[in-house]
């Protein structure tokens, strides 16, 4: 099975996750299955390859639990988008959003275990991969990091009113407006050029 492709315009896992939301007027979503979610997390570095393999296998063993986890993932995505919108507008975060992120952070619990290292052993933290909700904890950590930075983090929504994508402005001047200059930036420039010339011809 081929992997679904995902838009990549940011370095933050939470921002990339928020951008998997379908464009307005499009009934689809870039996250339509448990495998889509696991592929996204692995491609974006939220989990490693071994964890991805185990989580995909879990989808075969307990499809019901993984389907429920996907629903929670979509709920978390809505919360992440609300938080990013508030950060972009420099508005305070609502308590229920924070509670949702804190709950998702708790899904990443695990325990210290002895794991093989060469001929010996070492102590390492092992996540509770038996619970598919564990997969959402890296996203929660990412959005929690952005929320903790508050106004210091320059989260923006694309200036194209028809675009639903967010990005983190790391430009030197902090004046970036578009999710991608190659996509929305050029489209908006062409549209503005057409409007200007249309007004001149009318005059």
C-beta separation of 21 from 165 below 8 A: no
**Does residue 88 sit within a domain?**
yes
**Does residue 180 sit within a domain?**
no
3-state secondary structure 143-192: HHHHHHHHHHCCEEECCCCCCCCEEECCCCCCCCCCCCHHHHHHHHHHHH
**Does residue 49 sit within a domain?**
yes
Average pLDDT over residues 53-78: 96
Average pLDDT over residues 150-163: 86
Separation between Cα atoms, residue 86 and residue 80, nearest integer Å: 10
Nearest by Cα to 52 from 36, 63, 38: 38
Average pLDDT over residues 57-85: 96
**Does residue 203 sit within a domain?**
no
**Does residue 138 sit within a domain?**
yes
**Does residue 175 sit within a domain?**
no
Q: In Å, how far are 18, 37, 128, 159 from 44, measured between CA atoms?
A: 13, 11, 20, 25
**Does residue 56 sit within a domain?**
yes
Total-model pTM: 0.79
**What's the first-to-final CA gap in the chain, in angstroms?**
57
Strands 120-127 and 166-168: unpaired
Count the domains in the chain. 1
CATH number of the domain bearing residue 144: 1.10.3300
Q: Provide the pLDDT for residue 193.
A: 46
Residue range of the domain that includes 35: 13-157+164-169
**Does residue 188 sit within a domain?**
no
pLDDT range class, residue 183, cuts 50, 70, 90: low
Q: Which two tokens stand for residue 134?
A: 């564990």
Mean pLDDT over the full length of the chain: 83
Q: Provide the pLDDT for residue 6.
A: 67
Alpha helix positions (H), 89-134: 95-106
């Amino acid at each position: 099975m081929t992997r679904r492709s995902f838009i990549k315009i940011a370095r933050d896992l939470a921002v990339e996750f928020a951008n998997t939301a379908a464009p307005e007027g499009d009934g689809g979503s870039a996250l339509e299955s448990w495998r889509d979610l696991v592929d996204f997390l692995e491609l974006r570095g939220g989990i490693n390859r071994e964890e991805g393999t185990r989580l995909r296998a879990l989808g075969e063993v307990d499809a019901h639990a993984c389907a429920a986890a996907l629903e929670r993932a979509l709920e978390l995505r809505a919360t992440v988008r609300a938080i990013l919108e508030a950060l972009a507008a420099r508005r305070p975060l609502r308590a229920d959003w924070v509670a949702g992120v804190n709950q998702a952070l708790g899904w990443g619990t695990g325990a210290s275990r002895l794991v093989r290292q060469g001929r010996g052993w070492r102590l390492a933290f092992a996540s509770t991969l038996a619970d598919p909700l564990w997969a959402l904890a890296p996203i929660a950590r990412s959005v929690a990091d952005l929320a903790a930075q508050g106004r210091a983090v320059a989260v923006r929504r694309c200036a194209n009113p028809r675009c639903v994508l967010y990005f983190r402005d790391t430009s030197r001047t902090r004046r970036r407006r578009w999710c991608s200059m190659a996509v929305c930036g050029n489209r908006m420039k062409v549209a503005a050029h057409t409007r200007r010339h249309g007004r001149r011809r009318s005059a």
